[in-house]
Amino acid sequence: MVLQTWLLYLIAVIGLAFAPGPNGLLALTHGVLYGRSKAIWTIIGGVLGFVVVIALSMFGIGAIIQTSPSALNILKWGGGAYLIWLGIQLWRTPPVNLIISEKAIAEKKRSALFMQGAIAAVSNPKVLLFFGAFLPQFIDPQMSLMTQFFVMALTFSVVEFAVEFMLASVSVYIGPWLEKRGQRFNQVCGGLFVVIGIALPLTQ
């Protein structure tokens, strides 16, 4: 990949990373609930999930899904159902309590946070379709596809990780405020997940 093409890709990826989405919202929420050190596992899971999506897109699966309405519908409804379930869990989460936060952090398994981040990334078929249409704009057919995949996936991973880590880090400083209005915050975040989950299978 030539430098000029990579710079264009980098700019596009930065814009995509800052766009509102389930993984950014999840990083923000987990940063508040479990702290930055635990939320990083959510972020890692999401980033690796996105790498899987990029691989599927670059190696042709995205094109198959675009021509198969039934496969797309299955992914849409499955992804939507998971986001709704995740939203309900967030809605029911009690307000942040700084006094018992250490206990809450200790009880939450890193593997559970990792899986939530990964599933949130791979369960959204629009991400796969987006990458299926987006990535070919930067692929040079004369160059090694594997090399280009490595460059694109690494670039996206670094940018996405940095943005989500920033969100998780900023969330730590609003902990005291969330002690007073944490239930409402959790309900708003959970409600957003539910809305996304409902809208996902209903949109084209």
Checking if the pLDDT of 99 tops 70, the result is: no
Kindly tell me if the per-residue pLDDT of 103 is higher than 60.
no
Q: What are phi and psi of 197, to 5 degrees?
A: -65, -35
Q: What is the mean pLDDT of residues 24-48?
A: 87
pTM of the predicted structure, to 2 decimals:
0.68
pLDDT at 97: 55
Whole-angstrom distance, CA of residue 136 vs CA of residue 114: 29
Nearest to residue 21, comparing CAs of 131, 127, 119?
Answer: 127
**Cβ atoms within 10 Å, residue 65:** 20
pLDDT at 12 over 90: no
Band (pLDDT 50/70/90 cuts) for residue 182 is low
What confidence score (pLDDT) does residue 76 get?
A: 67
Q: Are 49 and 120 in contact (CB under 8 A)?
A: yes
Which range, 13-22, 77-86, 144-153, 183-192, is most confident?
A: 144-153
Q: Mean per-residue pLDDT for 37-61?
A: 87
Which has more pLDDT, 113 or 179? 113
Q: Look at the block and give the residue holding tokens 């084209």.
A: 204
pLDDT of residue 98: 47
Could you say which DSSP state residue 60 is in? T
Q: Is the pLDDT of residue 29 over 50?
A: yes
* Integer Cα distance of 99 and 113 in angstroms: 22
Helix, strand, or coil here: 189? helix
Residue 133 and residue 156: Cα distance in Å, rounded? 16
State the sign of the Cα–Cα–Cα–Cα dihedral 84, 127, 17, 203: negative
| Whether the predicted pLDDT of 100 surpasses 50 | no
pLDDT at 85: 82
Q: CA 87 from chain center: how many Å?
A: 14
Q: Dihedral of the CA atoms 193, 32, 96, 102 (nearest 10)?
A: 130
Residue ranges of domains in the chain = 3-202
